[in-house]
Structures are given as C-alpha cells and as structure tokens.
Amino acid sequence: MGPGAGRAALISNRKVFNLFGEKVLHALRSSGFDVSVWLMKDGEQHKSMRSLAQAITFFSKSGLERNDAVVALGGGVVGDLAGFAAATYLRGVAFIQVPTTLLAQIDASVGGKTGVNTGAGKNLVGAFHQPRLVLIDTDTLQTLPQRELTAGWCEAIKQGAAGDRKLFDRTVRLLERVGTHASSVQHAGGVRIDVAATIAAHCRFKAAIVAGDEREATDRTDRRSRKILNFGHTTAHALEAVTNYRRFRHGEAVGHGMIVAAEISKGLGMLKPGELELLRSAVRACGPLPPADDVEIDKLIRAMKGDKKSVGGQIRWVLLDAIGSARIVDGREVSTRALRRALRAGLQTP
C-alpha cells in the first residue's frame, strides 16, 4: 500500500465471508478503497497451486496495481494462500491479514510465512512476505467450532511452553477459569480474564521470536531461534501423515506431539516430572484430542525420518529444559529405544 492506495483485493471463503464479509467490505469502502472480492474454496486441499493461479487471475481482472493491497479474511488456509499470491503478484504487493481462527490469530497470521501445498508436500512452495497489518477481532471466535478452538489453544500452549513461562501460565489460567470458548473479556471467580489481551500477548511473543530469526536460519540452534516454534511438531507431522491428514486438525496433533517431546526430555534427564505433568494438564485444558494410542509406532518413526524439518536426514528435536525454555537437540542424541518409550508413554490420551 503506497500513498494513493486505491484498491483492495479481498480473498476469503464462502463460510467466513457470510459471517463477516459485509462488515469488512463496509470498513474498507468507508476508508476509500475500491474493493473486489474472490471467494476461494474452503479446506486445506485448496491451499494449492491451482488456487494460486486463480488468485492471480482475480488480481489481474480487478486491475490491482503495485500500490494496492491484498486483504485475507479467514483462517490460515486463506492467509497462507492470499499472502503467497500477494508476495508473487507484480513481485509483491502489500498484504493485510484479518485472521478469523484462533490458530491464525496467534500463529499463522504473524511471522510472514506464506505458501501453498503441492502433490509433493505440505507448504512446499512459499515465500516470506510480511503483512503490513494484522487486524484481529476476537469476537470472530464465537462461531468457531470446538475442534478449531482446541487446535488453536494447543498451538498457544506450544508458544508458552517453548519460550515464555509467563505466557504459558497466563494461557493455562485462562483455559482453566473460562474454558476454550472464551472470546472476549470475562469474569471468573472475581478475576477479570481478557482473552483479547492474551491473544495479543501471543502475537507479541511470536513476533519477537520471528524478529530475531526472520528466515529460520538453518544453523541456529539457540533457544530464541525460530525453530523452537516447532516444539511438538516432529511427532505432529508424523501423526498427520500416518493418518492421511484425516484424523487430526494440525493443532490437535501438536497437542500429542508436545507430550511426546516432553517425555523424551524427561527420559534424557532434562525435564522434571512435575513439569511434564503441568504440560499434560495444559493440553487437557485445550479440549479433547482424537486418540493417538492406536497408531503404529514403527510407522511414526519412519514418517519422522522423512520430515522436511530434518536437516541432512537427521531429526532435530525441540525439547524442554523447563516449561518456557526449549533446547534443540540432534536426533542422534535420542536413541530409538528412548523414542519408542516416549511415543508409547506420550500418545496415551492425555
């Protein structure tokens, strides 16, 4: 958006647009924008090269120019696709995120990663393209289904557990006092719980980590590197792949994955048992997870070895010294026996 920005190309999907589209259109138009709208199909399978091509055609037909802006209204699927389209159209136009899922509000909309899936893998093609603005209205969470809330809260617990003890405690307090459906200021037991302020704290946390390691440098292994945000993700990606992406929402798989990583940490003598129990109860507070105790452990281990987060064929585990303090550990330091034990213990229903 340069001076004289005139047009906004809004990307959303039918479901989200029916809920909030009119409000957003009104706000943009009353700020002087000419708005054109394209509704992409809903669902992860549409975060694709095909949708990307459709978005580019839409921009071109709308007459979108270098000084104009792309606005994403929706969850992480809409945000990633619209962001990648904005990153590539005319070699990059301004981009605004209006995330409407909890996961997109605390995680996907912040940090500038955009991209699409291809037949060869998830998020295989993408670009770093920072949004000019992330605009969050937590009232949108009121219509979000329970499983989407659970998935989002699991990623929130992840952010606290990996890098900020206070944020972890604050998130757990919110979940225990007002539950997963909280979307605005609430009063519980005489305490004021401001959900929006907690979500803002998560955005600040993620933004701070990203600011220190914007492109996730492959050689960084310190506890402020962007990689710590992958806490719980080695097992999560394996669980999602082995169940053909059908059983778990991504955040739900992260819920299980965090417990496995904490079990490994405990097994290596890094994490105190009491800290593992705290993490377990935090994950429980996020809501019920689909079971994972029937998934074949050998299949999981094979899937982990093929994950793109591994470097030189080695898994890099994000483990915990304590809640709020992550350590990146080379896969060779975790024996297959220790890994099996952690998977067996960690994948019991938390």
Residues that bind ligand NAD (CB under 6 A): 13, 15-16, 19, 42, 44, 47, 74-78, 80, 100-101, 103-104, 107-108, 111, 113, 123, 140, 143-144, 148, 151
Which residue lies nearer to ligand NAD by CB, 86 or 103?
A: 103
How near is the Cβ of 71 to ligand NAD at its closest, in Å?
A: 15
The answer to whether the beta carbons of residues 69 and 93 sit under 8 Å apart is yes
- CB 254 to ligand NAD: min, Å: 10
- Kindly state the DSSP code that residue 198 receives in the 8-state scheme: H
Our CB check for ligand NAD shows the closer of 111 and 160 to be 111
Q: How many CB atoms are closer than 10 A to CB 346?
A: 23
Exposed (0-12), middle (13-18) or buried (19+): which is 191, by Cβ within 10 Å? exposed
Taking the least distance from each CB to ligand NAD, the nearer of 104 and 278 is 104
Are residues 6 and 34 in contact, defined by beta-carbon separation less than 8 angstroms? Answer: yes
Distances (CA, A) of 222 to 184, 213, 267: 35, 11, 21
DSSP string, 41-54: PSSGGGSBHHHHHH
Q: Are β-strands 69-74 and 94-99 bridged in parallel, bridged antiparallel, or unpaired?
A: parallel
Spatial distance between the Cα atoms of 36 and 8, rounded to a whole number of angstroms: 6
Q: Distance between CA atoms of 119 and 90, rounded to whole angstroms?
A: 26
Nearer to ligand NAD, 162 or 342 (CB): 162
Q: Residue 214 Cβ, how far from ligand NAD at the closest point, in Å?
A: 12
202 Cβ contact partners less than 8 Å away, ≥ 6 residues apart: 105, 106, 107, 156, 159, 167, 171
Nearer to ligand NAD, 73 or 276 (CB): 73
* Cβ 123 to ligand NAD shortest distance, Å: 6
State the nearest-atom distance from the C-beta of 121 to ligand NAD, in Å. 11
Burial tier of 184 (Cβ tally within 10 Å: 0-12, 13-18, 19+): middle
- Smallest distance, ligand NAD to C-beta of residue 248, A: 12
Cβ(64)–Cβ(7) below 8 Å: yes
DSSP-assigned beta bridge partners for residue 36: 9
Q: How far is the CB of 29 from ligand NAD (least distance, A)?
A: 21
Is the CB of 59 or the CB of 153 nearer to ligand NAD? 153
Closest residue (Cβ) to ligand NAD?
Answer: 76
Nearer to ligand NAD, 133 or 191 (CB): 133
Q: Provide the minimum distance between the beta carbon of 12 and ligand NAD in the complex, in angstroms, as a whole number.
A: 9
Alpha carbon distance, N-terminus to C-terminus of the chain: 46
Q: Which is nearer to ligand NAD, 16 or 342 (CB)?
A: 16
